Chains A and B, each alone.
Chain A
Amino acid sequence: MSGPLHKDYAGAKLGMWLFLFTELLLFGGLFLLYAAYLARYPREFGTAGGQMHLGFGTLNTVILITSSLLVAMAVTAIQRNARRMVLWLLGGTVLCAAVFLFNKYLEWSDEIGKGIYPNSPKLVAAPPGESVFFSLYYLTVGLHGLHVLIGGTLLTLVAVRVQRGTIHAGDYVLLENGALYWHLVDLVWIFIFPLYYLIL
């Protein structure tokens, strides 16, 4: 074994950025489908988009932006070695993640209750483009929700390490990378929100 290699900060962050690119491209495939199908079914996308809950969407956008702010503050706080502060801020971020998912649960329950879900009898009978819109909506938002879950878990693990003192002012690249990941989750939502809730 090569023993503990000396830590390469720039390397660790470069690796993380590359990973974030791959995540963006993963969503990129779905956005590509969105673009192609929007061009084909502008009217159906319009009617379908009109049925979305703007309230839930807006609320969740505010929650995610706030959480991004909190995690960014956590990174500044760790540089000053304010451990308790970091823990509070990370706790706030994870709480936001949980509330976001809870809202999503309410929103989906309502939509499913109205018979809007992939392959539902209602959508099968609807004009073709509407079914495509909602399928894409469920897949994109579902994949994003999965990322919220992963990000929340990741930040919880980071918080445990801050608590234990293995992440501190002298070595916080893990927190920084966790925060980067969380910003990605936020960023993707910033595209989802207008595409599905606003512009149609």
Chain B
Amino acid sequence: MIPVENVPPAGDGGFWNDTGKTGITAWIFSTDHKRIGLLYFYSVLTFFLIAVVLGVLLRIELMAPGRTIMGPQTYNAVFTVHGVVMVFLFIIPGFQGSFGNLVMPIQIGARDVAFPRLNLFSWWLYIAGAAVIITSLFTGGGPPDTGWTFYVPFSERTGTNVSLAVFGVFIVGFSSIVTGLNFVTTIHRLRAEGMTWGRLPLFVWSLYATAWVQILATPILGITLALIIAERFLGTGLFDPARGGDPLMYQHLFWIYSHPAVYIMILPGMGVISEIIPAFARKPIFGYKMIAFSSLAIAAAGSLVWGHHMFTSGMSDTAILVFSFLTFVVAIPSAIKVFNWVSTLYRGSISLEAPMLFALAFILLFSIGGLTGLILGAAATDIHVHDTQFVVGHFHYVIFGGAVFAFFGAMHYWLPKFYGRRYAEKPAVVAWVLMFVGFNITYFTMMVLGMKGMPRRYYDYLPEFAPLNLVSTIGSWILVSGLILMLVNLFRGLFKGEPIDRNPWGAATLEWTIPTPPPTENFEEEPVVTHGPYDFKGAGIP
């Protein structure tokens, strides 16, 4: 290893001490992509933790039959807010906003994104939308109780504060669009000399595909949410059967966005995994082109499968057949990725450090989530488990076990680079074990409960479901204790831990060639790229 050059105190050196501005204004008005990245990171992390608390409260309520800590109306509000915050305030803006901003411009050899001020604007929009959503919880008829899907006709009739919440989500959606078009433009225009499309790190490829989904799908969410507001205030009756409207049209519009949105959540996570695995297996990634291509394939094919959420809603048999078939088709590019990751591991010199552990957990949990997704994608089986705890288990496997574990992996992999210090390895591994075990106890049990017929979104259940629910709730406590340990260890490390060098993991992408923490302009001189992102020999890494 190269000796540590200069050891700046935490939060110092590089981009930490630029600008004439001081205090909070140096952050909330900064157009530096790294500062905006950290702004996003801490904002989404805050909302994540709030929603985790709500999730744990849900599990505590379900610990025993009957009322445990809250009544039915409160339960409805809590799962709605849990879902809305997790989806719209954490995982959708999360990856692009935090690690996309922090890492992507450096990985392509740029000084910043294409529109730095628009980038800051997108964070402000996000905060404004979040503020509106929070306001909706405490004003008017109280927190929305519709579930995160805002299905009509209930969302039109309920007296809770749906309009304001929906408006908040609308604003956050606009923020998402702005980030998307900024990233597409950046990746097209600002790649350094020699950074051809074939040398783009796979994380960038995944962000690129995600950005397109953000651009093409989010407007549909915007108009759908605007229609809910119009229905509530103007009585347009577009979804009201008494007036010739059709509630099914709402479901179509909603899922035309919201199925692609699950790819906004998962694609960047897949990108992270494609960075971590070669770095810790010390091997060029297997099937670079197929992984890059499959990101685009997922983004494209994923826009044609929304109907699989509506098999029980009353669609024609032909529609069910087509959507079911297409759903199986999208599984293919996801499987391509999994096989390529596993092939990369084959005969690699694997070092099982924290980021790698999260990546391995991702592969397993995402595979379980993906395969159970096929049970839901096949109409014949979906009819039995639709709207049960099986679905809840399934999507937590994909979003939490997949995307969020990848997010944790990214935190361990990249944050040290920006702080100049790292966490302690042992506690990180212990935290990982706790989370992995707790996660499976919580959600696998929920899938079993669903198979046995326990519906979702109920605060109460039949006595025969009691033992498994207790197990699941205990699992959620193990999960959360791991989460707390992970965060304490990570942040203690970032501020007080061992200093690190430019390239602690020995990875071959560009961000590891610049000083730690990165200087304001990223590169002392314009980089010229001469090798691929996983070409360890070309990068001179032993």
Contact = CB atoms under 8 A, between A and B. Distances in A.
B32 A15 contact: no
Contact of A118 (B31, B184, B219, B236): B236
Interface centre among A14, A22, A118 (most CB of B within 10 A): A22
Counting contact residues on chain B (CB < 8 A from A), the size range is 35 or more
Contacts of A138: 234, 236
Interface in A49-106: none
Interface in B243-267: 243-246, 249, 253
Interface string B202-244: 0000000000000110111011101100100011111000111
A36 interface: yes
B188 A14 contact: yes
A137 B253 CA distance: 18
A30 B32 contact: no
Contact of B182 (A15, A26, A29, A143): A15
A199 interface: no
Interface string B180-214: 11101100111000000000000000000000000
Interface in A114-146: 118-119, 124, 127-132, 135-136, 138-139, 143
B253 to A, nearest CB: 6
B524 interface: no
Interface in A1-57: 1-2, 5, 8, 10-11, 14-15, 18-19, 21-30, 32-33, 36-37, 40-41, 44
Contacts, number: 120
A119 B237 contact: yes
Contacts of A11: 114-115, 185, 188-190
B215 A36 contact: no
Interface string B113-152: 0111010000000000000000000000000000000000
Contact of B181 (A19, A30, A36, A136): A19
B367 interface: no
B77 interface: no
Nearest to A36: B249
B219 A22 contact: yes
Counting contact residues on chain A (CB < 8 A from B), the size range is 35 or more
A143 to B, nearest CB: 8
Given A22-B218, A33-B238, A118-B237, A128 B181 contact: no
Interface on chain B toward A: helix, strand, loop, or mixed SS? helix
B30 A1 contact: yes
A1 B215 contact: no
A10 B244 CA distance: 47
Contacts of B237: 118-119, 131-132, 135
Contacts of A128: 242-245
Interface in B19-69: 19, 30-32
B494 interface: no
Contact of A135 (B185, B223, B236, B242): B236
A18 B185 contact: yes
A29 B236 contact: no
A24 B216 CA distance: 10
A14 B115 CA distance: 11
B489 to A, nearest CB: 34
Contacts of A118: 230, 234-237
A41 B244 contact: yes
A196 B308 CA distance: 33
Contacts of B387: none
A33 B253 CA distance: 9
B224 A29 contact: yes
A28 B217 CA distance: 11
A128 B242 CA distance: 7
Contacts of A32: 253
B520 interface: yes
Nearest to A131: B243
B189 A14 contact: yes
B112 interface: yes
Given A22-B177, A33-B238, A33-B249, A2 B220 contact: no
A25 B216 contact: yes
Contacts of B236: 118-119, 135, 138-139
B219 A2 contact: no
Contacts of A127: 244
Interface string B358-385: 0000000000000000000000000000
Given A14-B188, A139-B227, A119 B234 contact: yes
Nearest to A29: B223
A1 B32 contact: yes
B115 A15 contact: yes
Interface of B: 18-19, 30-32, 111-112, 114-116, 118, 177, 180-182, 184-185, 188-190, 215-216, 218-220, 222-224, 226-227, 230, 234-238, 242-246, 249, 253, 520-521
Given A18-B181, A118-B236, 16 more contacts: A8-B189, A11-B114, A14-B184, A18-B184, A27-B223, A28-B220, A29-B223, A29-B224, A33-B249, A37-B244, A37-B246, A119-B234, A131-B237, A131-B243, A132-B238, A135-B234
28 contacts: A1-B18, A1-B32, A2-B520, A8-B114, A8-B189, A11-B189, A15-B115, A18-B184, A21-B215, A22-B181, A22-B219, A24-B219, A26-B219, A26-B220, A26-B222, A26-B223, A29-B219, A33-B238, A37-B246, A40-B246, A41-B244, A44-B244, A119-B235, A119-B236, A128-B242, A129-B244, A132-B238, A139-B230
Closest 3 CB pairs of A and B: A128-B244, A119-B235, A29-B223
